[in-house]
Amino acid sequence: MKIGIIGAGMIGGTLGPLWLKAGHEVRYGTRHPEQVQVPGAGSDTVAAVGQWAEVLAIAIPLGATPEVAQALGSSVQGKVVLDTGNLIAGKEPTDAAAVAKSGGSGVWVASHLPGAHVVKAFNTVYFKILQSQSGRTDGPQLGIPLAGDDAAALDTAQGLVRDAGFEPVVFGALSQAIHFENGTPVWNTGASAEALRRYLSEVRA
Ligand SMILES: NC(=O)c1ccc[n+]([C@@H]2O[C@H](COP(=O)([O-])OP(=O)(O)OC[C@H]3O[C@@H](n4cnc5c(N)ncnc54)[C@H](OP(=O)(O)O)[C@@H]3O)[C@@H](O)[C@H]2O)c1
The answer to which of 89-93, 98-102, 145-149 has the lowest mean pLDDT is: 89-93
| 119 band by pLDDT with thresholds 50, 70 and 90 | very high
Best of 5, 6, 30 for a ligand 1 pocket test (most atoms within 8 Å of beta carbon)? 30
The torsion angles phi and psi of 94, rounded to 5 degrees, stand at: -65, -35
- Distances 113 to 34, 41, 92, 201, 202 between C-alpha atoms, Å: 26, 25, 18, 30, 31
How far, in Å, CA of 109 to CA of 73, rounded? 14
| 205 band by pLDDT with thresholds 50, 70 and 90 | very high
Pocket residues: Cβ below 6 A from ligand 1: 7-12, 30-32, 46, 59-62, 64, 67-68, 84-86, 88, 122-123, 125-127
Share of the chain above pLDDT 90, in %: 91
Across the chain, mean pLDDT equals 96
Q: What is the mean pLDDT of residues 105-129?
A: 97
pLDDT tens digit sequence for 152-181: 999 999 999 999 999 999 999 999 999 999
Q: What is the mean pLDDT of residues 14-35?
A: 98
Closest residue (by CA) to atom 5 of ligand 1? 126
pLDDT tens digit sequence for 55-99: 999 999 999 999 999 999 999 999 999 999 999 877 766 688 888
Write down all domains in the chain, each with its CATH number in brackets: 2-204 (3.40.50.720)
